[in-house]
């Protein structure tokens, strides 16, 4: 098992990072912190924003002229969630632990001038690119105050992953990262099974969904895309007010306001968010 210190950020790929960061700040209150540019060989630049109410950051990466892995991702997948980054105490030990688990660290252990890092490839994790790092330099201080954006976002609750085999993914997360199951359910109406797991050192949780029948939205996702990150789930002050705010932005909440046994919620469709399905919910009062 690899001890996780914390989740540092979730990353998405987009054609233009500035446009996407502005959209996320306006709609969801993700506060822009700083931008960065990698080497020409890396082929991308990007920026980092603070997520309201949760200790993690959100990164947007965009391709530079000439292509690179970000451009390949956009060509194959379109704009969307790209990877999850977690901090560990020792990257070399984390890489050795992966080897002991029969997982080859993707790209080996490298150094980008601020971090020592390695990766777990989606083919080994069941669908997510995981970035593992240990920092030795830190970005400049920045104002991290957030306002929740148009929807009144309070916090990010979890990142959700869609897979064909729920049990296998639960076992993988427990074995590799020490996540623990907090709850499980079956939704007979929507036709899927789900589980939510705690992530060591983080307020963010990890949800796994898998199809319970062939006409479920999870099955359609797996057939049209591939196993991987499916959506982000965020708490808002009021779903009704969030829906009204989206409409003022010219955005129709995807699915309308939904009342369920679980919670009142609605969705921000990827076509309106710049590539990410975002579930907005309010806690029962």
The answer on 245 and 166 residing in a single domain is yes
Do 228 and 112 belong together in one domain? Answer: no
Which of 100, 135, 170 is at the close of a domain? 135
For residue 140, being part of any structural domain is answered with no
Burial class (CB in 10 A: 0-12, 13-18, 19+), 249: middle
pLDDT at 139: 84
Q: Are residues 97 and 65 in the same domain?
A: yes
Q: Are residues 15 and 118 in the same domain?
A: yes
Q: Does residue 158 lie within any of the structural domains?
A: yes
Same domain, 182 and 102: no
Residue 141 within a domain: no
Q: Are 163 and 253 part of one and the same domain?
A: yes
Domain end (from 108, 135, 162): 135
The number of angstroms, rounded, from the C-alpha of 257 to the middle of its chain's C-alpha atoms is: 23
Residues 227 and 256 in one domain: yes
Residue 227 in domain? yes
Q: Which of 275, 187, 277, 169 is nearest to 227 (CA)?
A: 169
Q: Which of 77, 103, 135 is the last residue of a domain?
A: 135
Answer yes or no: do 20 and 126 share one domain: yes
pLDDT of residue 60: 98
For residue 239, the domain's CATH number is: 3.10.180.10
Query: Is residue 224, in this structure, part of any structural domain at all?
Result: yes
The reported pLDDT for the residue numbered 188 is: 93
Residues 77 and 130 in one domain: yes
pLDDT of residue 260: 77
Does residue 165 fall inside a structural domain?
yes
Q: How far apart are CA 20 and CA 69, in angstroms?
A: 19
Report the C-alpha gap between 76 and 254 in whole angstroms.
24
The answer on 49 and 17 residing in a single domain is: yes
The number of domains in the chain is 2
Separation CA 117–CA 106 (nearest Å): 10
Tell me how crowded residue 104 is: count the other CB atoms within 10 A of its CB: 12
Task: Show pLDDT as tens, one digit a residue, over the chain (285 residues).
Answer: 999 999 999 999 999 999 999 999 999 999 999 998 876 667 899 999 999 999 999 999 999 976 789 999 999 999 999 999 999 999 999 999 999 999 999 999 999 888 999 999 999 999 999 999 999 988 888 899 999 999 999 999 999 999 999 999 999 999 999 999 999 999 999 999 999 999 999 999 999 999 999 999 999 999 998 999 999 999 999 999 999 999 999 999 999 998 876 789 999 999 999 999 999 999 876
In a domain, 41, yes or no: yes
Regarding whether 93 and 168 lie in a shared domain, the answer is no
Q: Which domain holds residue 53?
A: 6-135
Is 91 found in the same domain as 17? yes
Residue 208: inside a domain, yes or no? yes
């Amino acid at each position: 098992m690899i001890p996780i210190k914390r989740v540092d950020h979730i990353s998405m790929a987009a054609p233009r990072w500035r446009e996407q960061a502005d959209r996320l700040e306006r709609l969801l209150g993700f506060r822009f912190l700083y931008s960065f540019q990698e080497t020409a060989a890396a082929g991308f630049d990007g920026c980092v924003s603070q997520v309201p109410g949760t200790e993690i950051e959100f990164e947007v990466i965009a391709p530079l002229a000439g292509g690179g892995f970000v451009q390949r991702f956009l060509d194959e997948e379109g704009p969307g969630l790209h990877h999850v980054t977690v901090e560990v105490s020792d990257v070399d030990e984390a890489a050795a632990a992966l080897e002991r688990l029969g997982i080859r660290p993707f790209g080996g252990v490298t150094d980008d001038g601020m971090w020592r890092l390695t990766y777990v490839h989606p083919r080994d994790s069941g669908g997510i690119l995981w970035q593992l790092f240990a920092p030795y330099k830190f970005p400049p201080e920045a104002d991290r105050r957030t306002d929740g954006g148009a929807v009144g976002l309070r916090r990010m609750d979890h990142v959700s992953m869609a897979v064909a085999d729920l049990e296998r993914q639960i076992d993988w997360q427990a074995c590799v990262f020490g996540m623990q199951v907090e709850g499980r359910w079956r939704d007979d109406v929507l036709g899927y099974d789900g589980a939510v797991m705690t992530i060591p050192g983080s307020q963010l949780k990890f949800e796994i969904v898998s199809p319970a029948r062939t006409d479920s939205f999870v099955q359609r996702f797996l057939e049209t895309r591939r196993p991987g990150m499916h959506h982000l789930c965020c708490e808002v002050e009021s779903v009704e007010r969030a829906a009204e705010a989206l409409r003022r932005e010219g955005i129709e909440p995807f699915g309308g306001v939904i009342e369920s046994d679980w919670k009142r919620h609605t969705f921000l469709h990827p076509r309106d968010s710049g590539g990410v399905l975002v579930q907005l919910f309010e806690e029962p009062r």
